[in-house]
């Protein structure tokens, strides 16, 4: 890295003003970062570095990884399979399900999923004082069949925070800060590589314009509209409260052995 940094200075004839500006942006990133917002991660995301690291480390036979993002928080509440993330929130209901599998297609029992997303307003609870702590954050363990299931609301496309140095970089290069809507997952299981990824809807207008370069073809999901709540799984905790129309998503994760 140091070798390439030195080559960059030589190739661009970096001026003192440009050098100072780079240091200033890093200093500002340190000032604005907190346990709820990591501006250095955001810098890495909007520069495409996070995605490039993901791609060179993603095995060909497993689900691809994608960016962690700056709003991941540890300590999310545990939710049973079939649990609800909607609570008192507004939004169009979505029932998300799938399985965690080996590369041979066998279910992985006891796999742990960390799940997080924005509310309908496009904000994570770490950004929004109107939301309770850990709103739309959860941890879940799969059963013997490797299955996960939860109810939530459909998240909206949103802009990455552009009120800091990462935003200054975006604006200076003529780029927009929009990301397609998505669901975040971290999937772990004994004897398997941990998967950090996110899943995107096929109909999102920003699918090909992600400011963080996180979209992969294998990470695109389909929202299927439903009109009969009776067709939903019986172990869905709020099945009786789901109103039509709603959406369902079925997405499997494939983990690679260590």
Q: Answer yes or no: is 24 within a domain.
A: no
Q: Answer yes or no: is 22 within a domain.
A: no
Q: Answer yes or no: is 238 within a domain.
A: yes
How crowded is the C-beta side of 61, counted as CA atoms within 13 Å?
10
Question: What pLDDT does 35 receive?
Answer: 83
Domain count along the chain? 1
Question: What pLDDT does 172 receive?
Answer: 94
Q: Answer yes or no: is 1 within a domain.
A: no
Q: Answer yes or no: is 71 within a domain.
A: yes
Question: What pLDDT does 59 receive?
Answer: 86
Q: Answer yes or no: is 13 within a domain.
A: no
Q: Answer yes or no: is 75 within a domain.
A: yes
Q: Which domain holds residue 144?
A: 33-255
Q: Answer yes or no: is 131 within a domain.
A: yes
If DSSP states are collapsed to H, E and C, what string results for the chain?
A: CHHHHHHHHHHHCCCHHHHHHHHHHHHHHHHHCECCECHHHHHHHHCCHHHHHHHHHCCCCCCCCCCCCCCCCCCCCECCCCEECCCCCCCCEEEEEEEEEECCCCECCCCEEEEECCCCCCCCCCCCCCCCCCCCEEEEECCCCCEEEEEEECCCCEECCCCCHHHHHHHHCCCCCEECCCEEEEEECCCECCEEEEEEECCCCCCCCCCCCCCCHHHEECCEEECCHHHCCCCCCCHHHCCCCEEEEECCEEECEC
Q: What is the CATH number of the domain that holds 158?
A: 2.60.130.10
**How does pLDDT run along the chain (258 residues), one tens digit per residue?**
999 999 999 999 999 999 999 999 999 999 999 987 899 999 999 999 999 999 998 888 999 999 998 889 999 999 999 999 999 999 999 999 999 999 999 999 999 999 999 999 999 998 899 999 999 999 999 999 999 999 999 999 999 989 999 999 999 999 999 999 999 999 999 999 999 999 999 999 999 999 999 999 999 999 999 999 999 999 999 999 999 999 999 999 999 999
């Amino acid at each position: 890295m140091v070798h390439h940094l030195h080559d960059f200075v030589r190739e661009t004839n970096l001026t003192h003003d440009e050098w100072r500006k780079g240091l200033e942006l890093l200093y500002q990133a340190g000032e604005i970062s907190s346990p709820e917002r990591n501006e250095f991660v955001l810098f890495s995301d909007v520069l495409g570095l996070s995605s490039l690291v993901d791609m060179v480390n993603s095995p060909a036979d497993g689900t691809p990884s994608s960016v962690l993002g700056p709003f991941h928080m540890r300590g999310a509440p545990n939710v049973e399979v079939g649990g609800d993330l909607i609570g008192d929130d507004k939004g169009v209901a979505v029932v998300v399900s799938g399985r965690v599998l080996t590369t041979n297609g066998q279910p992985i029992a006891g796999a742990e999923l960390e799940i997080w997303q924005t509310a309908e307003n496009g904000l994570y609870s770490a950004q929004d004082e109107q939301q309770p702590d850990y709103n739309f954050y959860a941890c879940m363990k799969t059963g013997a069949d490797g299955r996960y299931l939860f109810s939530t609301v459909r998240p909206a496309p949103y802009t990455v925070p552009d009120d800091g140095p990462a935003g200054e970089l975006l604006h200076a290069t003529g780029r927009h800060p929009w990301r397609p809507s998505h669901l975040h997952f971290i999937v772990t299981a004994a004897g398997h590589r941990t998967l950090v990824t996110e899943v995107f809807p096929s109909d999102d207008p920003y699918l090909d314009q992600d400011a963080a370069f996180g979209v992969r073809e294998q990470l695109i999901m389909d929202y299927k509209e439903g009109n009969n709540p009776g067709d939903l799984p019986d172990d869905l905790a709020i099945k009786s409260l789901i109103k039509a129309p709603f959406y369902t998503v079925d997405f499997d994760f494939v983990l690679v052995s260590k």
